[in-house]
Each structure stands twice: as C-alpha cells, then as structure tokens.
Amino acid sequence: MSSARKSAELARQLFALTLDQGRLAPERVAAVLQWVEKHRPDNASAVLRALKRLVEAEVARSQAVIEYAGEVSPAVFAEVTATLSRHYGRPLESVPVARPELIAGLRVRVGCDIYENTVVSQLAALKPVS
C-alpha cells in the first residue's frame, strides 16, 4: 500500500474515533490530536491534512449555512433549519450569513448540497437567453 493510501486509511480510522453516536465530539477530536502528537505516525502531516478534510466535511454536513440578503426574521432561519433537519434525518446547526450581493432570497448549504432561490441565481439563469 502506498504511503498516501496508508495516510488516508489512518485518517479515516482516526476520524471514526472522533464521532460520538454519529456526531463530531470536540473532546474526542482533541484526544485524537493528542494521540497523533504522542505517537507521530509516518507522514503525520498528510494524516492530519486528510483528517482535517474529513472533519471539515463532517462539520459542513452538520450545519445549515443560510446566506441571505435583506431582512430575514429568526423564525425563518429556525423553520428552514428544522425542515432540513427532518430531510437529512439529523439535527442541523443554523449558521446565518448576511450576503447583500444575493440581492434577495436565500441560499442554504448543507454539506455538498446547495438549495438556492436568490435573485442573483435567477438572473444568472437568464444570461444564456439574452
């Protein structure tokens, strides 16, 4: 097995240890980092980079990043997050981000999925017609 594959495999194993009942546990992440620091596996930096990618993807999967323009009430954020939590079958954390360049509407990102209904995206859709 190549060293890159070994690093990826070890990172996956370490990532599995950072989960508690399917959710990322900060204290477990800290413990894993301590273990890496102590045991210094081969190509430790590659292992940590791979682990970082996995953790980032997991964080993205557990968050609903809601980008919005204009006034949006907290109730809307809560409703969107609750609906998406039901859809994905896991509790999601709501992360609202103001993005005036969207002009109006919402763009919600959960992991790799983006749900978009903004004026900017609709204008972009019109571009090929003109």
Partner 1 sequence: MSTVLEQIEQQIARLQAGTVKKNVGTIRAIADGVALCDGLSEAKYNEMIEFPGGVMGIALNLAEDDVGCVVLGDVSKLKQGDEVKTTGRLLSVPVGKALLGRVVDTLGNPVDGKGPIDAKEYYPVERIAPGIIVRKSVSQPLFTGIMAIDSMIPIGRGQRELIIGDRGTGKTTIAVDTIINQAKINRVGLASGDKNFRPVYSIYVAVGQKNSNIVRTIGALEAAGALEFTIIVAAPAADNPANQYLAPYSGAAMGEWFMENGMDALIIYDDLSKHAVAYRQISLVLKRPSGREAYPGDVFYLHSRLLERAARLEGKGSLTALPIIETLAGDVSAYIPTNVISITDGQIFLETDLFNQGVRPAVSVGLSVSRVGSAAQIKATKQVGGKLKGELAQFRELAAFAQFGSDLDAKTKAQLDRGSRIVELFKQPAGNPIPIEQQAATLWAMQKGYYDALPLGKVNAAAVSLREFFVTRKDALLTAIRTKAALDADIESQLKTACDEWKSTFNA
Q: Interface with partner 1 by CB under 8 A: which residues?
A: 8, 12, 50, 53-54, 57, 111-117, 121-122, 125-126, 129
Q: How far is the CB of 44 from partner 1 (least distance, A)?
A: 18
Query: What does the alpha-carbon distance between residue 22 and residue 18 come to, in Å, rounded to a whole number?
Result: 9
Give me the torsion for CA of 42, 44, 46, 50, rounded to 10°.
Answer: 120
Contact 64, 95 (CB under 8 A): yes
Q: How far is the CB of 38 from partner 1 (least distance, A)?
A: 25
Nearer to partner 1, 41 or 111 (CB): 111
Nearer to partner 1, 27 or 89 (CB): 89
